Amino acid sequence: MDYIILDIEFNGRKFASDLPMEVIEIGAVRLDSNLRHIDEFSALIKPVYFSKLNSFIKKKTGIPQEDIDQAAGFVKVIGDFTNWLNHSESFLLLTWGGEDLKRIIYDTRMHKLDDTYWMAANYFDLLKGYIRYKNVTNDVSVEGALQDLNIDPSGSAHRALDDARMTSEVFRAIFDKLSFEYTQQFKDVYSNAKERRLVKNAIRSMTLQKLPLTWENLHDRYLKEKVTLEDPRKLKELQQYFTTELTKEKQPVAAN
């Protein structure tokens, strides 16, 4: 099995807009089963919206506007990238965080392409793997991980291929310390971390106050004015999260 270290850049924005953010660069490194660097992929993508990069993105990535103007669109590039991936008989995607694969899936849907390939792809969040290995709670940048591992960084941060190369060095350095049972597939999430934290904290507060631990009670006391639940998928997801956390809360503490 090959290991594909993936990184993307996208055209984030400083202002609120209903228009979507889009992937503007894909970079990937292919390592074989012996962790040897055997291939690379790199491509810029011309976005449909915000085709003129704002000053923040230009400064952050260093991508020239003229290069974006001449780049192919997402449909062409994602097709090329899929073909490149399929050169491997089997592969595991590795990302630094969960944003990269999510952005590819969102853009696939935006362009009305079939997302089956990406939803079925196995991926491993190397950031979480690194955090588990170091036994820390705060997120770490790739550059921070390299520094911690005494690996000299190379290339330009926030360019997709260079970031993928640097991430591959972290991967190789801690490969033997990683737990691949955490390999997963992308799953749509309709609530955010803040909303789930509200539910978790509400359960603790209700427990301390000895209030009835029901969803209706939690919603009326803690969520009603803070969380919009018009989307039935979000409502169902938070109700399931409530049930899961409630089960954890009721579990007896093991004696020492």
Please give the span between the terminal C-alpha atoms of the chain, in angstroms, as a whole number. Answer: 43
HSE (CB half, 13 Å, CA atoms) of 9? 28
Residue-level pLDDT at 256: 46
Same domain, 21 and 126: yes
Both 202 and 103 in one domain: the answer is no
Q: Quick check: is 187 in a domain?
A: no
CA distance 3 to 239: 36
Whether 172 is covered by a domain: the verdict is yes
Of 182, 214, 230, which residue constitutes the final position of a domain?
Answer: 182
- Let me know whether 31 and 76 are in one domain: yes
Residue 255 lies in a domain: no
Asked if residue 99 is part of any domain, the answer here is: yes
Q: Is residue 210 located within the same domain as residue 95? A: no
Asked if residue 234 and residue 143 are part of one domain, the reply reads: no
Same structural domain for residues 46 and 161?
yes
pTM of the predicted protein model: 0.83
Q: What is the pLDDT of residue 142?
A: 94
How many domains are contained in the chain? 2
- Judged by DSSP in three states, 205 sits in helix
Tokens 């169902």 sit on residue: 236
Residue 188 lies in a domain: no
Domain boundary among 163, 182, 201: 182
Domain carrying residue 46: 2-182
Quick one: three-class SS letters along 88-137?
A: CCCEEEEECCCHHHHHHHHHHHHCCCCCHHHHCCCEEEHHHHHHHHHCCC
Q: Mean pLDDT per 10-residue run, the chain (256 residues)?
A: 96 75 96 98 95 86 94 98 98 96 96 97 97 92 94 83 96 97 94 92 95 96 93 95 87 52
Say which CATH number the domain at 126 has.
Answer: 3.30.420.10
Q: How far is CA 33 from CA 90, 125, 163, 171, 205, in A?
A: 10, 18, 21, 13, 49
Give the span between the Cα atoms of 124 and 165, in whole angstroms.
Answer: 16
pLDDT score, position 251:
62
Residues 171 and 198 in one domain: no
